[in-house]
Amino acid sequence: MGILFDPFTPIGFRDLFTLMWSGALIIVIGAVFVYTTAQRRYRRYPAILALHEWIFWAIVVTWGLVPLLVVIHVPLALLLLIVLPGMAIAAWAAFIKFPPVIGAMNDEIRRQRFVPPPRRTEVRRARPTPAGRRRRHR
């Protein structure tokens, strides 16, 4: 239990120190890449963009603080106190909050995309021509 409150230094945590700050930088760079790609790809789907916003900010804030805290040698308990809630928020958004919203949005997209064609028994009105008069079919 005492190891949680020791300063997080390269001497005390030989393997974990470099892995923690370099892994945090890789995670932040990857999150920025995924977020910018998703912004272009899903610009017509606001529910998916909202999901990406939640996950992006939870990851960037959490893992963006880790290299700063590692450099100033804070205790491991403080690092865990920041990382675990941040990842819990990202997991909550991905698995609890947004799946019903995205499912409802998918149903709406399917409904709009697959509207049945009009029945053939319905008589369609003649559409006006560019000159403004009605065409008569022969």
- Per-residue pLDDT at 95: 94
Residue 18, CA distances (Å) to 11, 15, 22, 61 in order: 11, 7, 6, 19
Contact 31, 56 (CB under 8 A): yes
**CA dist., res. 95 & res. 44, Å (int):** 22
Cβ-based neighbours of 111, under 8 Å, separated by 6 or more: none
pLDDT value, residue 126: 64
Say if residue 8's pLDDT is above 80: yes
- Give the mean pLDDT of the chain: 86
Q: What is the pLDDT of residue 14?
A: 85
What pLDDT does 65 receive? 94
Q: Which residue has the higher pLDDT, 115 or 71?
A: 71
Q: What mean pLDDT is predicted for residues 29-35?
A: 96
CB distance 70 to 16 below 8 Å: no
Q: How many C-beta neighbours within 10 Å does residue 50 have?
A: 17
Break the chain into its structural domains and give their ranges.
7-113
Contacts of 78 (CB under 8 A, 6+ apart): 69
Tens digit of pLDDT for each residue in 71-80? 899 998 999 9
In this predicted model, what pLDDT tens digit does every residue of 94-114 receive, in sequence order? 999 999 998 988 888 888 777
Task: Of 71, 65, 103, 108, give the one whose Cα is nearest residue 87.
Answer: 65
Q: Is the pLDDT of residue 53 over 90?
A: yes
